[in-house]
Amino acid sequence: MRISELATESGVPVHTLKYYLREGLLMPGLAQSRTRADYGPEHLDRVRLVRALVEHGGVGIAGVHRIVEALDSPPPSPHEVLGVAHGALVGATEEDAPEPDADVREFVARLGWGVEDCQPIVQLLADAVLRARAAGIPLPDEDLERYALAMRAAAEVDLEVAGRARSTEEAMRIVVLGTVLVDPVLLALRRLAQTAESAARI
Amino acid sequence: MRISELATESGVPVHTLKYYLREGLLMPGLAQSRTRADYGPEHLDRVRLVRALVEHGGVGIAGVHRIVEALDSPPPSPHEVLGVAHGALVGATEEDAPEPDADVREFVARLGWGVEDCQPIVQLLADAVLRARAAGIPLPDEDLERYALAMRAAAEVDLEVAGRARSTEEAMRIVVLGTVLVDPVLLALRRLAQTAESAARI
């Protein structure tokens, strides 16, 4: 398809597509002439990925670059792509990181998940926990642990979804996009669950 | 304490406190003279609540007003405060609501939680699900249901935390603040859980 059709299919304007091309976020189409190139379904997938990361994930251009590079030259395991994606996403949300908190790091180690060295995410967790505690939400370790188990159940679904993909490339795309786009699904479900749980306790 | 001490204790500058007073978000202190008033711990709690809602919850002044009014003239049950808080929070995050989706509403009804009439949250969920699906995350009902069960487990903790409060007013404050401030805790835990789950599957 031509770039104008790619714009129609993806809902992203031509001038934005040209910007993605210049930035190297979208791979060039197959040249048909000096001024015309042909784009396929892989370009459409890529445009949707970039748009989702920028618009809904709040990921900056540098973060999208890192994710796109990892997808273009896949590391040996999808596990590493997850690390790259998390790093980029964390970089996008963490502007004013205070000192990391030893208590929270020890809590993560006690979980026994082997993830206490995932520095940027542990720090993201520590920031969030400290903010909640400073505002008067006690969040003792027992509560945190139960929250962690709930999110582990959600993560099982995340990884199964990726496992059902038809190719490694698709699996990685689903993991990256799912990290960004399933967050709001989970938060909406949390609010519904609070309402249900509150009604059940009256 | 004087307003300057309230500023020091809360970390919120005096001019912002005066703005909260003018807007009715902070109740007046006990007048000591024509230019001096005395503030107590209830004022400090209120300032922390307002700041958390505005800064970390992205709640607009109108939303904070609705929450503060519900706290000042408590409805018969904390359950209703939860509804008010959710409405205010949803209003703050939902700017471009597309058409609600019948499939998602039916999914919520099938959950059997009795929350299919919580219109703003169901719509928030429908928007999030449609965005994820449009970007290529399949999200079949079976996946959504497992995510819902995971969040129900998290909501059990939420309501237990509120139940441990020493007063109804404190319980309501914890529910409202917890909705805003525990979201990022859960999302950070989700990323750690994904990493752990991914490593476990290699």
Q: Any CB–CB contact under 8 A between B115 and chain A?
A: yes
DSSP, res A11:
T
SS3 A197: helix
Which positions in chain B touch A163 (Cβ < 8 Å)? 201
Q: Looking at the complex, does the CB of residue A100 fall below 8 Å from at least one CB of chain B?
A: no
Contact B198 A78 (CB under 8 A): yes
Assembly ipTM? 0.81
Would you say how long chain B is, in residues? 202
Q: What is the pTM of this model?
A: 0.81
Q: What is the pLDDT of residue B91?
A: 60
Q: Nearest by CB to A159, which of B79, B178, B194?
A: B194
Average pLDDT over residues B137-152: 94
Residues A15-41 pLDDT 10s: 999 999 999 999 999 988 888 899 999
B101 within 8 A of B131, measured Cβ to Cβ: no
From chain B, the residues in CB contact with A129 under 8 A are 185
| DSSP line for B160-201 | HHHHTSSSHHHHHHHHHHHHHHSHHHHHHHHHHHHHHHHHHH
CA-only gyration radius of chain A, Å: 20
Q: Which of A52, A137, A154 sits opposite B174 (nearest CB)?
A: A137
Contact A166/B at CB under 8 A:
no
**To the nearest whole angstrom, how far is the Cα of A58 from the nearest Cα of chain B?**
14
- Work out the number of other CB atoms within 10 angstroms of the CB of residue B142: 10
pLDDT tens for each residue of B80-114: 767 777 776 666 444 444 556 788 999 999 999 99
Give the pLDDT confidence of A167-179 residue by residue, as tens digits.
766 777 787 788 8
Q: Does B27 touch chain A (CB under 8 A)?
A: no
